[in-house]
Chain A
Amino acid sequence: NAGVTQTPKFRVLKTGQSMTLLCAQDMNHEYMYWYRQDPGMGLRLIHYSVGEGTTAKGEVPDGYNVSRLKKQNFLLGLESAAPSQTSVYFCASSYWDWSSRTEKLFFGSGTQLSVL
């Protein structure tokens, strides 16, 4: 049971290049999320998904696209990278635990992206 796995862990892009970040979870969770974290700030939600085939915008969706073709995978794409997208990106998945009546959120280890 690997939990939430993000690839790659580090990436350097030039302005205008494109790339895809992959998030995979093996816990059969319905909900998945992409956040970005900038220095001295909390996490900001980019996009999220409440199930396979569904996606929705978060707080800061501009410049990003996502897809959830399979339940276990949530992809984050940058079509034309900009220096303002330099950040640490976190993927997460969650489920509702009926026995404890709590939501349990699990994060990946993050991807450090630099756009030059």
Chain B
Amino acid sequence: DQQVKQNSPSLSVQEGRISILNCDYTNSMFDYFLWYKKYPAEGPTFLISISSIKDKNEDGRFTVFLNKSAKHLSLHIVPSQPGDSAVYFCAALYNNTDMRFGAGTRLTVKP
């Protein structure tokens, strides 16, 4: 039962352009959302998060948007850099007890 879905397994973007990674969820009880970045042969690292009481959180080049009515969140990276090439996982948390991850999206930023 995939409660968190990342429907795009891969995304390719030109350096300097915007990268938009999408994530959909089915459980309206999720109240906290996170994005993790994973390089090959390494564990995922925390990138940015957002509480369900907000609709936007920004940290430098990274911005996460949350649309609760659509059960959709997105991660925007602007401008994209080659070092951003990695797999990005979306995760959703309910009541600090139940955390679900998406299958990941592989981002490639071309020079």
Q: Do A and B interact with each other, yes or no?
A: no
